[in-house]
Amino acid sequence: MGGMRFFSASLLSVLVAGTVSAAPAVWTEGPLLKVGPSTPAQNLAPARLLAARNEFESFQIVIRGEAPVSGVRAKVGELTGPHGAKIPQSNVRLYREALINVTTPSGAIGAKGRFPDGLIPDVDEVDGQMRSAFPFDIPAGEAHALWVDVLVPLDAPAGLYTGTLQVSADGLDTQVPVELEVLGFTLPSTPTLSTAFRAWPAFVCLAHTGTADCGSPETAIELLSKYARLALDHRISLSNLFVLRRDPQDTGVVLGKNGEDWSGFDTAFSPLLNGTAATQLTGAKLTAVEYGWELSPEALASYGQHARDKGFLDRVFDYTADEPPYGSKWEDIAPRSAIVHAAVPDMRTLVTTNVNAATDNKLADSLDILVPVVNHMDAPFAPFAGNQRPRYEDFTRRGGELWLYQSCMSHGCSFGGAEEGASWPSYMVDVSAPRNRAMQWVDFAYGATGELYYETVLAYDRDPWADQFTFSGNGDGTLLYPGKPSKIGGSSEVPVPSLRLKHIRDGIEDYEYLTLLAKLGDRALAEKLAREVVPTAHRISENPNVILEARRTAGRRIAELSAQAAPG
């Protein structure tokens, strides 16, 4: 046949098309990059992690194809370490990162576009049901990410653990190497940093059941307990879930005691208070509990006595006033504080204000917890220019507690307020992951022992999977998603974490590193590392490597000091 060549039908079709379609790219990313659809492809490298015992550490798997990618799945096995030690498959959780379309940026600091935030689980964290993370499809020319959480067991020996994660799709089968170095110390299940993150029960009930009270106390307790457990596994306390409504005109869940019968309260609350709830973090307890009964000497005394008997009075606070003079009147604070302290001397009173205002209104001596907005701790404007922490010394010296909170001032509220060029910590969807994680570094750097956040389910009055724009910010007041079976698969209603909640959890674990490092005798290094990440409260580093390297340095130093302190 002379020079004639023969080709298979499949090869001929490729020649006719003119190109060979490249296989999808698969690569790993650290936890501090928000992977959007336009993220460029990278080469595959092992996921390299470092963590203490009883710590979560995370990474991302990203898939991108120039052609559509169909049927994406992921599967992970156990990790094998020193002397055959194992981190079981059940300690590794997979999620598909859902995208939310931001059409209006968060103040002056956000951006338009599709951002990853909601985490659809493969197996959910609360009920352990298979959900609809996989399989999924990726449009042509887009990058989509998986989030991977690894919880290091309490008894894991220090050393290197290795394993693989399999990513498959039509025409794709990739093994991703995973390397985890376990350090020789353990993080506590109940964090050192007190947290009072609020979740309005009526919004939770409405999103999941269509009624403001969940239909029954039993349904409300079951659902709200799931939210509280998920929060504890992200090292935060939902402080106001099981309370009576203060205003009889409010709609919402009414739980608690019946006369002097505390059985309803104890059924709902005790496992979360005493560390027996079914959490991944063994023994995790609430660090803050908001008093929510009527403000009468009798009700206060009854609650205080029960809290004392059950051993959690030291975690109770009365939210005495919010952002006076806007949310509360200055003149109402002293009388309310006096009623609380007269009925229960050990119950703490909390006001979201700064020490200057508290002092000017002659309240500093009658309050137990001052919670200034982070913008008032160190700002590029008067009267809060420079480090304000020394102003709180008299207050903390007499036993007062300094907590911090962030608000829409970090991005610019609907009335303005964000300073040009400032980079405050922010829990918004459309800002960098380091800004989501930086708040707890600020807490440590400025000597705060607690953190308050006003709401975590605010956008439940609509579909938070599609829209969370509130107070000129995307995600302001919303850190959780309603995991309805229609959205995530399975058969039961559960809460679903946001990517931002994972960053907050990691920030609290960073706080534990810094606190432990200081307790072990190297406070100078802890403070130096904190200031590398947050030189000031309004000039935080947005470089992911700065946070990760500071954490790595702290972890290795803690392991060294722990080994030196070990018996023998």
Over residues 517-540, the mean pLDDT reads 97
The pLDDT score that the predictor gives to residue 12 is 36
The pLDDT score that the predictor gives to residue 275 is 97
Over residues 46-74, the mean pLDDT reads 98
Question: Cα Rg for the chain, rounded, in angstroms?
Answer: 25
CA 507, CA 165: separation in Å to the nearest integer? 26
**What is the percent of the chain where pLDDT is above 70?**
92
The pLDDT score that the predictor gives to residue 514 is 98
Choose between 214 and 460: higher pLDDT: 460
The pLDDT score that the predictor gives to residue 9 is 37
pLDDT confidence band for 244 (50 / 70 / 90): very low
Phi then psi for residue 165, to 5 deg, are: -120, 130
CA 198, CA 248: separation in Å to the nearest integer? 20
**What is the percent of the chain where pLDDT is above 90?**
85
CA 337, CA 368: separation in Å to the nearest integer? 9
Least confident of 62-71, 234-243, 385-394, 522-531: 234-243
The CA-to-CA distance between both ends of the chain, in Å, stands at 85
Say whether pTM exceeds 0.75.
Answer: yes
Reading the block at residue 49, the tokens are 């992690």
The pLDDT score that the predictor gives to residue 417 is 60
Reading the block at residue 275, the tokens are 């560390």
pLDDT confidence band for 264 (50 / 70 / 90): confident
335-353 burial code (b ≥16 CB/10 A, e <16) = ebbebbbebbeebbbbbbb
CA 471, CA 458: separation in Å to the nearest integer? 11
- DSSP class of residue 460 equals G
Query: Is the predicted pLDDT of residue 2 greater than 80, yes or no?
Result: no
CA 256, CA 268: separation in Å to the nearest integer? 8
Give 156-192 pLDDT, tens digit per residue: 999 999 999 999 999 999 999 999 999 999 999 999 9
Over residues 328-353, the mean pLDDT reads 97
Over residues 314-326, the mean pLDDT reads 97
Over residues 517-538, the mean pLDDT reads 98
Burial class of 543 by CB neighbour count within 10 A (0 to 12, 13 to 18, 19+): middle
The pLDDT score that the predictor gives to residue 565 is 86
Strand ranges of the sheet holding 450-453, from the earlier edge strand across to the other edge: 194-197, 450-453, 401-405, 369-370, 348-352, 316-322, 289-290
CA 349, CA 337: separation in Å to the nearest integer? 6
Pairing of strands 316-322, 289-290: parallel
* Per-chain mean pLDDT for the chain: 92
Give residues with Cβ within 8 angstroms of 448, minimum separation 6. 402, 403, 404, 442
The pLDDT score that the predictor gives to residue 259 is 58
- DSSP class of residue 320 equals E
Query: Is the predicted pLDDT of residue 246 greater than 80, yes or no?
Result: no
Domains and CATH numbers, the chain: 22-186 (2.60.40.10)
CA 191, CA 505: separation in Å to the nearest integer? 10
